[in-house]
Chains A and B, each alone.
Chain A
Amino acid sequence: MNPPENIYLPKTAILDRVTDDIADVKTFYWHFEDEADQKAFKKFRPGQFAQVSLFGFGEFPASLPPSPTEDETFFTIRAVGSCTAALHRLKPGDKFGVRGPYGNGFPMEEYYGKNLVFVAGGIGLIPLRSCIVYALKYRDKYDRIQVFYGSKTPRELMYLPNLREWETSAGIECKLTVDKKNSTEAWDGNIGVVGSLFKLPDTHIPVDNTVAFVCGPPIMFRFVIKDLLAFGFQGQNIVSTLERYMKCGVGKCGHCCIGVAYVCTEGPVFTYEHIKKLGEDI
């Protein structure tokens, strides 16, 4: 896809509906005002991201949780700063700006024939949701598909309807855990960090011919990587997507550059092998 003449110019998007996910996190279903923009945007790859514009507040990078195979386009956003808070205040029908998709995305075609292991913590499931839905759509292209997902508490599990579906469908093994639960919460599942799921008696993670997707808070990332390396995973078979402060998304503003790599254009998807060489904290 050729870049547009003006790389900084957002296109008008219309908010269709909003759903509540967990505390401070909502999913925003939207479409471009111009049908041609929508069509062009829908060619995105899992793992890519977009710049969301709230005029008067600014822009922020947002990963794309939908799979390109799904009909609707949406963002799942936690309200953390002034700009994301402004998005949270929008009502269906309101307009805002979007430009993208940007970044490399996960090379899902290169993984044909392989086992896919998804390990996510908290809102780290947002970018991985795209890959999981994509892989299930092309189920016969991949070997085993496993999802290991954990959150702090049962109330903080993202995409609960998807999780329930993955837990019960054939063709995908999905295991959930929470760090802790309080006495009032109904939860009869596993309790412990994500890594504790690897030690369950019925868990078997294949190492040969497998790609592991890891996404979550830095502390979780470090421990999961340690586990995976101990299982015998090679760094180039572990992939993740990095989060950085970004202003432009197109390799100009300089904020996301780590080592020699601009996360926005050369990432945000990197193998662990590559991340190690970049030489900066996750």
Chain B
Amino acid sequence: MKARVLDRRDVLKIVDLLRRQGYEVIAPFHGRGRDTFFDIVTDENRERIQIHLPNPYYPPKRFVLPHIERLLKATSNNGDIYIEPTYEQPKRAIFGIRSCDIAGIYHLDRFYMGREFRDIYYEKRRKNLLLVNMVCTDPDEDINRECFCMCADTGPASRDHFDLQLMDLGDEFMAVAGTSDGEAILADALFRKGNEAHIKKRSAILDEVRGHFKNTTSWFSAAVRYVSQGSILDKTWEAVGDRCLECGGCTYVCPACTCFTVSDRQVGPGEIERVRIWDSCALAGFTRMAGGHNPRRAVHDRRNRRFFRKLASHFIQKELSMACVGCGRCAAVCHGDVGMPSVVEMIRRATTENDKYEST
């Protein structure tokens, strides 16, 4: 690892550097209470950028896959129709994106750009996006009760898929590059060479931080195996379904959910725009066809769908990445406590019933 270091007081100068290079920089801020959010950095709010804070619930996914994204504009004029795609490709950097969300964006990359059909809208935004990863090192601020990146193997420090990674070593920050874009930033005079002691300190801090995660055994591997084999009992899905309030919250906060719906809206006389909007498999209308037939009516079938899509080995093999990154947002927002960690545990518990030596 070609480690570089910089002084603690200089860390926000990376933001300044990126802004000077023409990037629109997105960074995390405190809202009210424990609420946090990503926002565009301005001269005014630059001082309030947070290095350590609970990861915002509204995931940074929207910078590559906006909540509502315009796909095309169609104008009709004297019976003629002009169809015009609308692309946006802002030069953007996310400063302080967490390791789980790095994995989330990587999953979206695999899904939108790695399959037989490439999504040009996603690709254009993604190609202009620079990711500056901040390793979670502050047990009080960075690590939520729900975090389980340890189980999903995505954190607390990303191993790849970032452009630049920063880690708080105390008086100094350590910086490593993951891409040539990241290397180019490290060439700035802000950074100096790191040494063996920095690397040792990094390992020591990570070892310590790992001990602060409450959720380290979510039995992911067992859940993947059972889901892929189809050996999960119907009553387990029903129990999950009984607790689902069908709000769709889990899917809207998920950094790796990919589903969208498409809608046309009138924007002027004879002028419409077609937009895509995040959609959720938790909602009853997700599979309902015109005419009313809905092949997936029951709540538990829909919950089954979400967890099957995220855990089945078929998709993991196909995408070479898993659609759950261990950020814990679904667990934090779910009113019925059927976020991923709970469901994985329910699967594990239910399957022990099949074990003739364990059941009494």
Contacts and interface: CB of A to CB of B under 8 A. Distances in A.
A28 B115 CA distance: 33
B301 A280 contact: yes
Contacts of A282: 295
Contacts, number: 117
A155 interface: no
A252 B260 contact: yes
State the main secondary structure of chain B at its contact with A.
Answer: mixed
Interface string A66-104: 000000000000101101100000000111110000000
B16 interface: no
B124 to A, nearest CB: 10
Contacts of A58: 262-264, 274
A118 B274 CA distance: 39
A243 B289 CA distance: 9
Contacts of B72: 8-9
B290 A81 contact: yes
Given A3-B117, A7-B120, A56-B272, A253 B262 contact: yes
Interface of A: 3, 5-12, 55-60, 78, 80-81, 83-84, 93-97, 218, 243-245, 247-248, 250-255, 257-260, 265, 279-282
B264 A245 contact: no
B279 A250 contact: no
Interface of B: 71-72, 74, 76, 79-81, 83, 85, 111-112, 115-121, 230, 258-264, 266, 272, 274, 276, 279, 281, 286-291, 293, 295-296, 301, 305, 308-309, 312, 314-315
A59 B118 contact: no
Most buried by A among B117, B272, B309: B117
A81 B276 CA distance: 19
Given A9-B85, A254-B260, A60 B118 contact: no
B287 A8 contact: no
A6 B120 CA distance: 6
Contacts of B115: 251
Contact of B260 (A94, A247, A281): A247
Given A58-B264, A260-B314, A7 B117 contact: yes
B83 A56 contact: no
A7 B276 CA distance: 13
Contacts of B79: 93-95
A95 B262 contact: no
A251 B290 contact: no
B81 A56 contact: no
Nearest to B308: A259
Given A84-B290, A280-B301, A55 B315 contact: no
Contact of B258 (A59, A83, A252, A281): A252
A56 B266 CA distance: 6
B289 A245 contact: yes
Given A83-B290, A244-B289, A55 B76 contact: yes
A208 to B, nearest CB: 32
Given A248-B262, A250-B117, A260 B81 contact: no
A255 B287 contact: yes
Contacts of A260: 312, 314-315
Contact of A245 (B230, B266, B288, B312): B288
A228 B260 CA distance: 38
Contact of B116 (A84, A97, A257, A265): A265
A97 B287 contact: no
B281 A254 contact: yes
A179 B160 CA distance: 63
Contacts of B287: 244-245, 255
Q: Can you list the 7 inter-chain pairs with the closest CB atoms, starting with the nearest?
A: A81-B290, A254-B259, A55-B74, A260-B314, A80-B291, A80-B290, A250-B117
A75 B284 CA distance: 29
Nearest to B230: A279
B312 to A, nearest CB: 6
Contacts of A59: 262
B262 A254 contact: no
23 contacts: A5-B120, A7-B120, A12-B81, A12-B83, A55-B76, A55-B81, A55-B83, A57-B264, A58-B262, A58-B264, A59-B262, A84-B290, A94-B79, A97-B74, A244-B295, A247-B261, A251-B117, A253-B276, A255-B287, A265-B116, A280-B295, A281-B295, A282-B295
